[in-house]
Amino acid sequence: MENSNENIKFGICPECKVRYNDSSEKKLYQCPYCKGWFCEKHVEPKLVITWSAIERTRDRILKEKLYEEWRKEGHHPCSIWTMQYFESLEIKEKEEREKFLKALDNIEKRKKSNQYSKSLEVSKRKISPKDVAIILMLILLIYFIAVRNITISIFILLVLALIAVIFR
Ligand SMILES: [Zn+2]
Ligand SMILES: [Zn+2]
């Protein structure tokens, strides 16, 4: 904090008054952000943020940073400084987000090409040996049921069940 004469005057520190009911006149310094006047204990800015807002922060690193700010002794809650703090944070986060999105985009592209080759595989084996066997067996089954040969019909049913199990 600069201690040039312009930035010093005598008066009541609003933070001291609110927090300690201390209305004594002190040397006051001007906050370069909100332009408010505070004693030397309170002139440094801190975040205007509620405990519950910190609790809701999902980013673990940011949360830790905010707790640190919250625990600061002295200082004054400074809305202008808070805005600047979050703006600079947002810029950093935006960069992070863009990096993240780029990585995500790459993953998606890889996934899509995988899906494409998979669907190619599927279409290549559209008529599998299993399908052919089952259709043949069904035709035989219908034939032997039609000619009322129960033994062979049951045998074919068993083969069908086997095919279903083996080629699953
Ligand atoms: Zn004070
Ligand atoms: Zn301030």
pLDDT (tens, 9 = 90+) of the chain, 168 residues, equals 444 556 789 999 999 999 999 999 999 999 999 999 999 999 999 988 888 888 888 888 888 888 888 888 899 999 999 999 888 887 777 787 787 778 778 877 877 777 766 666 665 556 777 778 888 888 888 888 888 888 888 888 888 888 778 776
Whole-model pTM: value is 0.50
Give the whole-angstrom CA distance, residue 142 versus residue 167: 22
Which of 75, 95, 115 is at the close of a domain?
95
- Verify that 10 and 90 share a domain, yes or no: yes
**Distance in Å, CA 43 to ligand 2 centroid:** 7
Looking at all shown ligands, the one closest to residue 14's CA atom is 1
Looking at all shown ligands, the one closest to residue 35's CA atom is 2
Is residue 107 situated within a structural domain?
Answer: no
Which of 95, 111, 144 is at the close of a domain?
95
Q: How many domains does the chain have?
A: 2
**Distance in Å, CA 102 to ligand 1 centroid:** 47
**Distance in Å, CA 55 to ligand 1 centroid:** 28
**Distance in Å, CA 17 to ligand 1 centroid:** 7
Q: What are phi and psi of 46, to 5 degrees?
A: -135, 170
- Verify that 81 and 153 share a domain, yes or no: no
- Verify that 144 and 91 share a domain, yes or no: no
Beta bridge partners of 29: 8, 38
**Distance in Å, CA 120 to ligand 2 centroid:** 64
Is residue 79 situated within a structural domain?
Answer: yes
Is residue 65 situated within a structural domain?
Answer: yes
CB 66 within 8 A of CB 54: yes
Is residue 31 situated within a structural domain?
Answer: yes
36: Cβ contacts below 8 Å, ≥ 6 apart: 14, 30, 76, 78
Q: Which domain holds residue 139?
A: 129-166
Q: Which of 20, 18, 16, 19 is nearest to 29 (CA)?
A: 16
- Verify that 148 and 72 share a domain, yes or no: no
Give the whole-angstrom CA distance, residue 128 versus residue 157: 20
Give the whole-angstrom CA distance, residue 49 versus residue 67: 10
CB 121 within 8 A of CB 114: no
**Distance in Å, CA 74 to ligand 2 centroid:** 12
- Verify that 81 and 22 share a domain, yes or no: yes
